[in-house]
Amino acid sequence: MDPDQFDLVVVANRLPVDASLDDDGTVTWRRSPGGLVAALEPALSAGGAWVGWPGAVDLDLGPFEVEGIALVPVPLSETELAEYYEGFSNATIWPLYHDVITPPGYHREWAEAYRTVNRRFAHAAARAAAPGATVWVHDYQLQLVPRMLRSLRPDVKIGYFLHIPFPGVDLFAQLPWRREILEGVLGADLIGFQRAGDASNFRRAVRRLAGLATHGTAIQVTPVAGPPRTVRAEPFPISIDFAGLDAAAQRPEIQRRAADIREELGNPRIVFFGADRLDYTKGIRHRLKAFGELIESGELQVPGSILVQVASPTRDNVVAYQELRDEVETTVGRINGDSGTLTQVAVQYLHQSQPFEEMVALYLAADVLLVTALRDGMNLVAKEYVAACWDHGGVLVLSEFAGAADELAQALIVNPHDIDALKSAMLRAASMPAAERRRRMRALRRRVKDRDVNYWASSFLSALKETK
């Protein structure tokens, strides 16, 4: 086998590494944290490679290796980043696939950039794949890659996994390039989704918009050239590194940090916690509205109750995200101005990413995690919180519109659009008896432990291996 070819090739928008500049000007690459690379590390180290963008524009690198993992960089220009990533991926596909919470933009130059970049990824994957290799393509930025790759390398087995929701057919039908996207994804042998409903939405779109027959989870594809194929579209809910989170949460220094956090907050009776990217899909505005009304009515009081909201910066160049940040920060200021004291705020707002150890400490310090997503493929924060609650003391309030709700039935499941119901769930969580908290959390932890990220990756790859 060619030393530059690999039996397993993972294709994702980003390489799993971050660059740092040393004092002497040397660029050093370090592996970024993430469950996917951890789950695939054994296979990648034994003859696999990862194809992706290195994270900086106009950076044309050859293949390199970091911590035993072969990396194949795909370059992007500044214009391509703006049109393929910020444009078509995040201002067209992202809002469309998240139920048009904000209106998508349909621009032909964005679509052309998306094609160009997807073709570049497909060629990079084709060069990296050994004869008969397995190629696993990830997420909404690369929906055209499976078909392009199949035309280049019909000998390889192709899997595709969509990490975000797939919309209902009436919404998806708005996309001018809907047929091209469907045909692109159908280049795969196995298509994975977070929820059964997402897989069902995809199969309905295929029947109605591409005229293909389906039977159960199978889709019959008859290409213009080549023999008929059967493609499977099925749910494979993603998960987390349960063992790693659980072990971190039991480290004495992280437990001490959690105690320090509560002290810094004024040792309140109840700490509500939200941790999200600052994204309009996460329901941060709904969460703040519910909390603010509870404070205003006196059902929760300051001091005594506090909401800690971590909102990681994301897509700052997209107008919808700039507007969301302004609205969230205005709301936080109003709640604190109306309800805070000289020594205690009602909402502790952090518009910054937190390191892994600090996030685990925040999970431990929280009495209640609020996941109020308006639409979410999975929401791994919910599962991370469960893994961190080794003492069974926390309560999870979880939106029914997050994929995690399918698995985490012992959470308090809510409709975040129903502010009164959300307020009731928050009050119930705050006053839940210890025995009920422990019972619910034990069941949640069993589920997340049994279906961790290793289970997810091995399940998908095993199913892909069995496809014909």
Q: Which residues are catalytic?
A: 163, 376
Tell me: cis bond preceding 303? Omega within 30 of 0 counts: yes
Mean pLDDT of 35-50: 81
Alpha-carbon gap, residue 183 to 429, rounded angstroms = 46
Q: Residue 450's pLDDT is what?
A: 97
Domain ranges of the chain: 6-238+455-466, 242-450
Strands across the sheet containing 347-350: 347-350, 305-312, 270-277, 368-371, 395-399, 412-414
Contact 143, 174 (CB under 8 A): no
Dihedral sign of CA atoms 186, 190, 194, 199 in order: positive
Neighbours of 169 (CB within 10 A): 18
Query: What is the per-residue pLDDT across 425-437, written as a single tens digit (0 to 9) for each?
Result: 999 999 999 999 9
- Please tell me the class of the 242-450 domain: alpha beta
Q: Residue 34's pLDDT is what?
A: 67
Q: Which two tokens stand for residue 218?
A: 């199978």
According to DSSP, the residues that pair with 157 across neighbouring strands are: 134
Mean pLDDT of 8-21: 89
Residues near 436 by beta carbon (within 8 Å), at least 6 away in sequence: none
Q: Residue 460's pLDDT is what?
A: 96
pLDDT for residue 328 is more than 90: yes
Return the CATH number of 6-238+455-466, one of 3.20.20.70, 3.40.50.2000, 3.30.310.10, 3.30.360.10.
3.40.50.2000
Percent of the chain beyond pLDDT 70?
A: 98
Q: Residue 247's pLDDT is what?
A: 97
- What is the separation of C-alpha 303 from the centre of its chain, rounded to a whole number of angstroms? 34
- Going by C-alpha positions, the residue among 386, 335, 395, 326 that lies closest to residue 367 is 395
Mean pLDDT over the full length of the chain? 94
